[in-house]
Chain A
């Protein structure tokens, strides 16, 4: 067998923003028909590198070759012309257009006066749909089909453009389990067609399952690049964080108390079909479920963000009337959302304003005037307690801090009011491996001090690492409960499917 052709060759790519270097001389090579896993912590430079290849950002130095020919990315169009296609985490389809229109959006065949040739695009779209066996018609409006199908449409679309190199950026985050399986199958079929693939993911198991070789990006440099079979998951993590991680989860000898702090009884809402839970003192209760299982909807309902059809929430045996975030906070419930930027922080406001936001209600003088002195004390106290790296909390805005520090601010604003019930929705999503341990430690410490914690996560290992009990949610109901001694990946998955 002859030497495989090199599909994509990247030489010495440099890129800096406002004088701060983000990529330092990246070298990378991708063979034809190869699946390359690209992993790295957040902020390592993965998205910058992909944006450079995709023509979104211009590179400062270095060269790129596609099948031996020099390639100068200047706009998203140039990537398309070279046959490089991106499948992003958030899909790039338009829900108000039809499948056919979406497939041809960049390149409509037109007649007189730029009028689109609908006969042609519908016919061609139908051919592709048949080829990929998609349950849609060319004239179906995309907004009416599921996320998994949308992703398949995007892949099919990229193949219509004769993409030879495909880059998947965290493609599985919003897919259900079966949709994920179908995606992997499709990727393998693409590979058989000699298409080269870069697969970016945080989920290392998937990377090992799928990729021929793995490259690790750290602080803007490639620190590891070899065949997948030559490395173990532990070694990979070491490369990602740049140091040995002695233990992944903090140890604790806390014991779960008898008192039920939070009880949700027979909760029914749009996507939740009768869920009841009892959360004990000092307990960390994990909640696992596939995307769309109703787990996020359940905690949002408990916290009063979504409306509830029936059911009741009891805190220490007392029913919360008038359920809303406000009343929940009054009853000592804290809620850390999965979307840090969208729902967790006032990004453009100073760190101090963020930290004191929840606390304000407790530090009021007459006429609801905020007590500035107490506010400053609170902020100072939280910064030292959580080790948040900030020099001037009244001037520095939240968006100037790193992801890990931002997440600490989110925790900090809740810890300020000393709640005894924490609801955490994906508390470590988008946090890098190093910072994860710190977050686990904060969670564990809160539990040791008597707080009870309800934690949703998509990462099974993380739940098994720190939880006392795991509930598995499926189709809006609890499909099973696992005690610590019964924890195993197989058991959890079995209940979730």
Chain B
């Protein structure tokens, strides 16, 4: 039973604002940034924005899947840190993967495989703890995040191990197009189909809508929810090594707070924190590109680096505020 019921037209206004609002904000920002700095609207800069958006964008796709079932994964940023730390350790200090491997594709494939497997494992732990024991997902993933960070820091020895070996993929280009952008585009298309057209996608939508009814409809809810966390873990790990490869190293604060960028991106794109509602194309892509554009624009207008945090906070607040207001209308 709900406590408050609102008048219809208000919901309509809210839904209109939350649908078109993003594009309006987008347009206004682009006009503002491009008038403040001529370099903003150049091909190079736009490509830069997309390149920066791609790794967290890939992770945000995973977050979208978790959010569809009504879950959340705030270990995402620390997952990125943990996996990159281990990979860089294996190549560097640990000496398990010799640099010569990277003369052929074998090395890259191996690194990607290791990351994805580790990411799946993290997701499996998150998922099992959430779905089997019914612990609030943000408590589970908060604690798992702490554990990942603790172990990850040991692997980096609290220094900044190099990830330069992964640069050919993270910073490379094919036919002049950055590889990460291609990877991002492929991931978007694949997972948009997974969400909209496959049995798994429809089942997680059903679970997010009414978990008990989903159980009665014969859906293996626990297994499906665990799968979403595994998918999120794998995509986050993959996004993590791409991001670390772009930067060239795993800094002490690498990954911190990325989960909230991913959540904001998903929510701006029309995915609900309350489950049962998701959009990857154009949703998540619009969300992540908008956020990256704002960060890029802030750099262009020479804003103080300390303003970034505040702006990120404001973006999350605004996005979730609209989602929450919309939610009331949705459940009525």
A: residues with CB less than 8 A from B are: 56, 75-77, 80, 86, 88, 90-97, 101, 105-106, 108, 110, 113-116, 118, 270, 297, 305-307, 337, 339, 342-343
Chain B residues with Cβ below 8 Å from A108 are 199, 202
- A97 B5 Cβ-Cβ under 8 A: no
Kindly state the separation between the CA atoms of A77 and B219 in the bound complex, as whole angstroms. Answer: 9
Q: A92-B213, A94-B209 are in contact. Are A105 and B202 (CB under 8 A)?
A: yes
Complex-state Cα separation, A389 to B216, whole angstroms: 35
Chain A residues within 8 Å of B197, by CB: 115-116, 118
Judged by a CB distance under 8 angstroms, whether B95 is at the interface is no
Count class of interface residues, chain B: 20 to 34
Give Cα A77 to B1, complex, Å.
30
A75 is contacted by which of B208, B210, B218 (Cβ under 8 Å)? B218
Query: How far is B199's CA from A116's CA once the two chains are assembled, in angstroms?
Result: 6
Q: Of all chain B residues, which has the CB nearest A90?
A: B213
Chain B positions 196 through 231: 1 when the CB is less than 8 Å from some CB of chain A, otherwise 0:
011110110110111001111111000000000000
B205 touching A343 by the CB < 8 A rule?
A: no
Query: Are B5 and A114 in contact, CB atoms less than 8 angstroms apart?
Result: no
Question: Closest CB of chain B to A97's CB: distance in Å?
Answer: 6
Q: List 22 A-B contacts (CB under 8 A).
A: A76-B215, A77-B218, A91-B213, A92-B213, A92-B216, A92-B217, A94-B209, A94-B213, A95-B276, A96-B206, A96-B208, A97-B209, A101-B202, A105-B203, A108-B202, A113-B198, A270-B5, A270-B8, A305-B3, A305-B4, A339-B1, A342-B1
**How many Å lie between the Cα of A18 and that of B4 in the bound state?**
39
The interface residues of chain A lying within 8 Å CB-to-CB of B213 are 90-94
Tell me the bound Cα distance from A105 to B216 in angstroms: 11
Known A306-B5, A339-B1; contact A80-B218, beta-carbon cutoff 8 A: yes
Q: At the interface, is chain A mostly helix, strand, loop or mixed?
A: loop
Given A94-B276, A108-B202, A110-B199, 5 other A-B residues pairs in contact with their CB atoms under 8 A: A92-B210, A94-B205, A96-B276, A306-B4, A342-B1
Binding site for A on B (CB under 8 A): 1, 3-8, 193, 197-200, 202-203, 205-206, 208-210, 213-219, 276-277
Question: B218 touching A116 by the CB < 8 A rule?
Answer: no
B218 close to A106 (CB less than 8 A): yes
Separation of A105 and B205 alpha carbons in the complex (Å): 11
- The reply to whether B200 and A270 contact each other, CB–CB distance below 8 Å, is no
- Contact across chains for A114 and B198 when beta carbons are under 8 A apart: yes
B276 to chain A, nearest CB (A): 5
**Contact partners of B276 in chain A: CB under 8 A:** 94-96
Contacts of A96 in B (CB 8 A): 205-206, 208-209, 276-277
B200 nearest in chain A by CB position: A114
Q: Which of B5, B8, B198, B277 is in CB contact (< 8 Å) with A115? A: B198
Given the interface contacts A80-B218, A96-B276, A306-B4, does A116 sit within 8 Å of B209 by beta carbon? Answer: no
Residue of A with least CB distance to B8: A270
Contact A97–B205 (Cβ < 8 Å): yes
A307: B residues at CB distance < 8 A? 4-6
Least CB distance, B277 to chain A, in whole angstroms: 6
User: What 10 pairs between A and B have smallest CB-CB spacing?
Assistant: A92-B213, A94-B209, A77-B218, A94-B206, A96-B209, A76-B218, A96-B276, A108-B199, A114-B198, A115-B197
B215's nearest neighbour on chain A, judged by CB, is: A76
With both beta carbons as reference points, the residue of chain B lying nearest to A110 in the complex is identified as B199
Q: How far is the CA of A339 from the CA of B214 in the complex (A)?
A: 23
* Chain B, residue nearest A77 (CB): B218
**How far does the Cβ of A55 sit from chain B's closest Cβ, in whole Å?**
9
Chain A residues within an 8 Å CB radius of B193: 115
When the two chains form their complex, are residues B210 and A94 in contact, meaning their CB atoms are under 8 A apart? yes
B142 to A: closest C-beta gap in Å: 24
Q: Which residues of B contact A80 (CB under 8 A)?
A: 218
Question: In whole Å, how far is B70's beta carbon from the nearest beta carbon of chain A?
Answer: 12
Our pick among B4, B6, B200, B202 for the contact of A97 (Cβ within 8 Å) is B202
**A296 nearest in chain B by CB position:** B1
Contact B198 A105 (CB under 8 A): no
Closest CB in chain A relative to B38 CB, distance in Å: 45
- Interface-centre pick from A105, A106, A342 (highest chain B CB count, 10 A): A105
Q: For residue B68, which residue of chain A has the nearest CB?
A: A96
- A142's closest neighbor in chain B, by CB? B209
Q: Roughly how many angstroms separate A94 CA and B203 CA in the complex, as a whole number?
A: 10
Task: Chain B residues near A118: list those with CB within 8 A.
Answer: 197
Q: How far is the CA of A337 from the CA of B3 in the complex (A)?
A: 12
B215 partner residues in chain A, CB cutoff 8 A: 76
Nearest CB on B from A275, distance (A): 17
Partner of A76, one of B202, B205, B217: B217
Contact A95 B209 (CB under 8 A): yes
Q: Residue A343 contacts which of B1, B216, B218 (CB distance < 8 angstroms)?
A: B1
Docked Cα-Cα span, A343 to B3, in Å, equals 10
A77 and B198 alpha carbons, distance in the complex (Å): 20
Q: How far is the CA of A35 from the CA of B218 in the complex (A)?
A: 26
Chain B residues with CB under 8 A of A305: 3-4
* Residues of B close to A343: CB separation below 8 A: 1
- Name the CB-closest residue of A to B208: A96
Closest to B210 in A: A94
Question: Which residues in A have their C-beta under 8 angstroms from that of B218?
Answer: 75-77, 80, 106
The CA-CA distance from A94 to B201 in the complex, in Å, is 14
